[in-house]
Each structure stands twice: as C-alpha cells, then as structure tokens.
C-alpha cells in the first residue's frame, strides 16, 4: 500500500514493501527504487555474483564501476579506509543529497565497485525510500541509475518496466521522480577537491561549502 505524500507527486513506500525489496537484495536479486534524481538499481555491493548480474543487465562496461548508497555516514566504515577531513564539511552540508564522494576503498571491495586506483563512489540519498532500502538491506546498496548503458535513466516505475521487461526482481514504485541531473561527483585532488562529474549540486556551491566556517 502506498500513500500520496511526497513533494513532486512522490509516494511514501510502505514498510512491508521495503522489507520485501530488501530481502530480494540480500538474496542476490536486483531491485529498482526511487531516488531524489532518477530510479536506481540496487544489489548487494558485497555480492560479486549479484554485481555481475547487474552489469550484464545494464550492458555496462566492466571498467565503469557503480556507486554505492549508504543508509547513514556510520556505514562508511565498511567501504572506505578513512573519511578525509576535506569531506567532513561536505558530508555535514550536503548529505543526505545528490552528492557522490569518491573515497579510497578498503582494499577488500569487489572490483566492479572500484577503479584501478581502488577508489569507490559513495553517497547518502535524501530520498526516504532509498535510505530505508539501504538500511533494511544491511547498510549499503548499489545506486547505479535504472537504464541500459547509453539510454536515459528512468524517472518512474513504468519506465523501469519498459526498459527492463525481464531481469528485475522487484520494483519499488515511489511515483515519478524529478530526473534532470544525476548526483554531482567529487574526488580528492592534492590539498583540495576536484569535480569529476557535474550534477544536481552546482560545483560552486560545493566550493562555497568547503570555504564556509
């Protein structure tokens, strides 16, 4: 059961639905879910078989790692070596929200999550369904957009169904999401940060956030 409640026509997802979706993720399945930008595809980021299935489903090049969504900042410890001091202001100011930060991974993460430098992109979504799904699934899920590689990302459950007539184990219908730009991706660069991908949060705002007292 869902109830019209969120801004922009979104809908609140019932606890029972989130638990079914989380069970599918923990069981190695692929789940589509709403975020504050596009619909995403969740698998267990520590399950190599599930990640492999996700890449096949999206027809995604294996040298393009997928980002991870967490349920709260404390979950970073399972994925990263440390939280750089330069990121702490950004986390306080922009999380939860459409900002992906690139961290040094623990060294034990599946290769489909990391690049050749062993870095991993992580964010904390501001969409309640995304955060609740991550929490119910164990604290972390993949957050790659719901689309075959090269196609626009889905902004509704019906678009997910059209793009993936087979292969998705569960779709959380959170109503239509805003679309537009994806998350802004920021990494480290010597003593500062660098823009890796422009997105929903202007880079100027990120630099202003770093400079703020």
How many CA atoms lie less than 13 Å away from 40 in the CB half-sphere? 27
| Beta carbons within 8 Å of 108's beta carbon, 6+ residues apart | none
End-to-end CA, the chain: 45
Enter the tokens of residue 201: 């949060």
What integer pLDDT is reported at residue 36 of this predicted model? 95
Task: Please name the helix (run of DSSP H) or strand (run of DSSP E) that holds residue 197, with its range, or none.
Answer: strand 192-197
> What sign does the CA torsion over 133, 137, 142, 148 have?
negative
User: For the domain 2-211, what is the CATH superfamily, name and number?
Assistant: DHBP synthase (3.90.870.10)
Classify each residue of 62-101 as buried b or exposed e, where b means 16 or more C-beta atoms within 10 Å of its C-beta. Answer: eeebbbbbbbeeebbebbbeeeeeebeebbebbbbbbbbb
Q: How far apart are CA 101 and CA 186, in angstroms?
A: 5
Q: Do 101 and 84 form a contact (C-beta atoms < 8 A)?
A: no
Residue spans of the domains in the chain: they are 2-211
Q: How far apart are CA 119 and CA 78, in angstroms?
A: 14
Of 174, 149, 183, residue with least CA distance to 68: 183
Tell me which residues of the chain have a pLDDT lower than 50: 1-5, 7-9
Q: How far is C-alpha 156 from the chain's CA centre?
A: 16
What integer pLDDT is reported at residue 10 of this predicted model? 65
Enter the tokens of residue 118: 């062993």
Task: Indicate the length of the chain as a whole number.
Answer: 213
Enter the tokens of residue 129: 């369904």
Q: How far is C-alpha 167 from the chain's CA centre?
A: 19
Q: Do 43 and 28 form a contact (C-beta atoms < 8 A)?
A: yes
Say which DSSP state 111 is in. Answer: G
Give, to the nearest 10 degrees, the angle between helix 85-94 and helix 203-211.
120
Helices (H), the chain: 15-26, 48-58, 85-94, 128-136, 157-163, 203-211
What integer pLDDT is reported at residue 212 of this predicted model? 81
């Amino acid at each position: 059961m869902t109830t019209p409640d969120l801004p922009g026509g979104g809908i609140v997802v019932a606890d029972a639905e989130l638990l079914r979706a989380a069970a599918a993720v923990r069981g190695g399945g692929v789940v589509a879910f709403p975020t504050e930008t596009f619909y995403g595809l969740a698998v267990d980021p520590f399950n190599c078989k599930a990640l492999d299935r996700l890449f096949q489903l999206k027809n995604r090049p294996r040298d393009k790692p997928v980002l991870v969504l967490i349920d709260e900042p404390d979950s970073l410890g399972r994925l990263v070596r440390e939280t750089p001091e330069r990121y702490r202001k950004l986390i306080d100011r922009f999380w939860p929200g459409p900002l992906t930060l690139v961290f040094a991974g623990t060294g034990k993460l599946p290769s489909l999550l990391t690049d050749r430098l062993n870095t991993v992109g992580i964010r904390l979504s501001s969409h309640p369904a995304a955060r609740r799904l991550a929490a119910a699934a164990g604290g972390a899920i993949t957050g790659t957009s719901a689309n075959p590689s090269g196609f626009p990302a889905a902004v509704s459950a019906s678009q997910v169904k059209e793009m993936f007539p087979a292969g998705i184990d569960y779709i959380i219908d959170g109503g239509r999401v805003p679309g537009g730009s994806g998350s802004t991706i920021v990494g480290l660069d010597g003593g500062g940060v660098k823009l890796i991908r422009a997105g929903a949060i202007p880079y100027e705002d990120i630099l202003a956030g770093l400079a703020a007292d």
